[in-house]
A and B are shown apart, each in its own frame.
Chain A
Amino acid sequence: MVAFLACVLLMLIGLYVVVAKRNIMKMVIGFSLMEYAVNLFFALVGFKKDALAPIITEQAQVRDLAARSFVDPVPQALVLTSIVIGLATTALMLALAMRIYEKYKTFDIAEIRRLKG
Chain B
Amino acid sequence: MDSHFLPLFVALPLLGAFLVPLLLKLAQELADVLANVIGALLVSVSVYGLLSQLWGTGTAVHWAGNWRFIGIAMVFDSLTALVVLTVNVVGFCALLYSVRYLGHYTARWKFYTLFLLMLAGLNGLAISGDLFNMFVFIEIAAVASYSLVAFGTEAEELEAGFKYMVLGEVGGAALLFGIALLYARASTLNLAHISQVLTPGTPLFWFVVATLLIGFAVKMAMVPFHAWLPDAHPSAPAPVSAMLSGVFIKVVGVYAMARLVFNVFGLSRELAPAFFNLLIGFGIVSIVAGGLLAYAQKDYKRLLAYSSISQIGYILVGLGIGNEWAIVGALFHVLAHAMGKGLLFLAAGSVDAQAGTRDLEKLRGLERTMPVTAWSHILGSLSLAGVPPFAGFFSKLFIIIGAIQARMYWLAVLAALFSAVTLGYLTRVVNRAFFSRKGEEPTPARESGGTMAIAMLLLVVLSVLGGILFVPVLDNVIRPAAQVLLNGTGYAGQILGGP
**Which A residue sits closest to B153, measured CB to CB?**
A99
**Which A residue sits closest to B180, measured CB to CB?**
A42
Q: A113 — which chain B residues lie within 8 A by C-beta?
A: 159
Q: Can you name 8 A-B residue pairings with CB atoms under 8 Å?
A: A14-B173, A38-B173, A38-B177, A78-B189, A96-B162, A100-B155, A100-B162, A113-B159
- Asked if B156 is at the interface of the complex by the 8 Å CB criterion, the answer is yes
B residues with CB within 8 A of A: 132, 135-136, 139, 143, 146-147, 150, 153-156, 158-162, 165-166, 169-170, 172-173, 176-177, 179-180, 183-184, 187, 189, 230-231, 235, 297, 302
Query: Please, how many angstroms separate the alpha-carbon atoms of A81 and B137 in the complex?
Result: 12
| Residues of chain A in range 1-53 having any CB-CB distance to chain B below 8 Å | 11, 14-15, 18, 24, 27, 31, 34-35, 38, 41-42, 45
Asked if A24 and B162 make an inter-chain contact with CB atoms under 8 angstroms apart, the answer reads yes
Query: Please, how many angstroms separate the alpha-carbon atoms of A85 and B160 in the complex?
Result: 21
- Asked if A82 is at the interface of the complex by the 8 Å CB criterion, the answer is yes
The smallest beta-carbon distance between B407 and chain A, in angstroms, is 38
Interface 1/0s, chain A 56-88, versus B by CB < 8 A?
Answer: 000000000000000010110010011001001
Asked if B230 and A117 make an inter-chain contact with CB atoms under 8 angstroms apart, the answer reads yes
Q: B184 — which chain A residues lie within 8 A by C-beta?
A: 45
Asked if B162 and A31 make an inter-chain contact with CB atoms under 8 angstroms apart, the answer reads no
Q: A31-B170, A78-B132 are in contact. Are A117 and B302 (CB under 8 A)?
A: yes
Q: A114-B155, A114-B156 are in contact. Are A97 and B143 (CB under 8 A)?
A: no
Q: B136 — which chain A residues lie within 8 A by C-beta?
A: 81, 85
Number of A-B contacts (CB under 8 A): 93
Q: B173 — which chain A residues lie within 8 A by C-beta?
A: 11, 14, 31, 34-35, 38
Q: A114 — which chain B residues lie within 8 A by C-beta?
A: 155-156, 159
Q: A15 — which chain B residues lie within 8 A by C-beta?
A: 170
**Which B residue sits closest to A93, measured CB to CB?**
B165
The smallest beta-carbon distance between A16 and chain B, in angstroms, is 11
Asked if A89 and B230 make an inter-chain contact with CB atoms under 8 angstroms apart, the answer reads no
Asked if A92 and B156 make an inter-chain contact with CB atoms under 8 angstroms apart, the answer reads no
Q: B159 — which chain A residues lie within 8 A by C-beta?
A: 100, 104, 112-115
Q: B302 — which chain A residues lie within 8 A by C-beta?
A: 117
**Which A residue sits closest to B138, measured CB to CB?**
A85
Q: B170 — which chain A residues lie within 8 A by C-beta?
A: 15, 18, 31, 34
Q: A100 — which chain B residues lie within 8 A by C-beta?
A: 155, 158-159, 162
Chain A's interface: helix, strand, loop or mixed, by majority?
A: helix
A residues with CB within 8 A of B: 11, 14-15, 18, 24, 27, 31, 34-35, 38, 41-42, 45, 72, 74-75, 78, 81-82, 85, 88-89, 92-93, 96-97, 99-100, 103-104, 112-115, 117
Asked if A42 and B143 make an inter-chain contact with CB atoms under 8 angstroms apart, the answer reads no
Q: A104 — which chain B residues lie within 8 A by C-beta?
A: 155, 159
Q: A92 — which chain B residues lie within 8 A by C-beta?
A: 143, 146-147, 165
Q: Top 3 nearest A-B pairs by Cβ distance?
A: A103-B155, A42-B180, A45-B184
Chain B's interface: helix, strand, loop or mixed, by majority?
A: helix
Query: Please, how many angstroms separate the alpha-carbon atoms of A31 and B413 in the complex?
Result: 43
Q: A27 — which chain B residues lie within 8 A by C-beta?
A: 166
Query: Please, how many angstroms separate the alpha-carbon atoms of A35 and B187 in the complex?
Result: 22
Q: A11-B173, A81-B132, A89-B139 are in contact. Are A115 and B166 (CB under 8 A)?
A: no
Asked if A89 and B150 make an inter-chain contact with CB atoms under 8 angstroms apart, the answer reads no
The smallest beta-carbon distance between B421 and chain A, in angstroms, is 19
**Which A residue sits closest to B298, measured CB to CB?**
A116
Q: A89-B143, A113-B159 are in contact. Are A74 and B189 (CB under 8 A)?
A: yes
Asked if A38 and B183 make an inter-chain contact with CB atoms under 8 angstroms apart, the answer reads no
The smallest beta-carbon distance between B46 and chain A, in angstroms, is 27
The smallest beta-carbon distance between A71 and chain B, in angstroms, is 13
Query: Please, how many angstroms separate the alpha-carbon atoms of A114 and B159 in the complex?
Result: 8
Q: A85-B136, A115-B231, A117-B302 are in contact. Are A96 and B158 (CB under 8 A)?
A: yes
List 15 additional A-B contacts (Cβ < 8 Å) besides A81-B132, A96-B146, A112-B159: A11-B177, A18-B166, A18-B170, A42-B179, A42-B183, A72-B187, A82-B135, A82-B176, A93-B166, A96-B150, A96-B158, A97-B162, A99-B153, A100-B155, A113-B159
The smallest beta-carbon distance between B442 and chain A, in angstroms, is 26
Query: Please, how many angstroms separate the alpha-carbon atoms of A99 and B160 in the complex?
Result: 12
Query: Please, how many angstroms separate the alpha-carbon atoms of A42 and B181 in the complex?
Result: 8
The smallest beta-carbon distance between A12 and chain B, in angstroms, is 11
Most chain A CB inside 10 Å of its own CB: which residue of B146, B170, B231: B170
The smallest beta-carbon distance between A74 and chain B, in angstroms, is 7
* Contact with A99, one of B143, B158, B176, B179 (Cβ below 8 angstroms): B158
Query: Please, how many angstroms separate the alpha-carbon atoms of A32 and B240 in the complex?
Result: 27
Query: Please, how many angstroms separate the alpha-carbon atoms of A97 and B184 in the complex?
Result: 36
**Which B residue sits closest to A100, measured CB to CB?**
B158
Query: Please, how many angstroms separate the alpha-carbon atoms of A24 and B156 in the complex?
Result: 15
**Which A residue sits closest to B293, measured CB to CB?**
A117
Q: A38 — which chain B residues lie within 8 A by C-beta?
A: 173, 176-177, 180
The smallest beta-carbon distance between A19 and chain B, in angstroms, is 9
Asked if B143 and A74 make an inter-chain contact with CB atoms under 8 angstroms apart, the answer reads no
Asked if A89 and B165 make an inter-chain contact with CB atoms under 8 angstroms apart, the answer reads yes
Q: A85 — which chain B residues lie within 8 A by C-beta?
A: 136, 139, 143
The smallest beta-carbon distance between B158 and chain A, in angstroms, is 5
Q: B161 — which chain A residues lie within 8 A by C-beta?
A: 96
Most chain A CB inside 10 Å of its own CB: which residue of B135, B162, B165: B162
The smallest beta-carbon distance between B144 and chain A, in angstroms, is 10
The smallest beta-carbon distance between B170 and chain A, in angstroms, is 6
Query: Please, how many angstroms separate the alpha-carbon atoms of A99 and B153 in the complex?
Result: 8
**Which B residue sits closest to A27, measured CB to CB?**
B166
The smallest beta-carbon distance between B169 and chain A, in angstroms, is 6
Query: Please, how many angstroms separate the alpha-carbon atoms of A39 and B147 in the complex?
Result: 24
Asked if A31 and B169 make an inter-chain contact with CB atoms under 8 angstroms apart, the answer reads yes
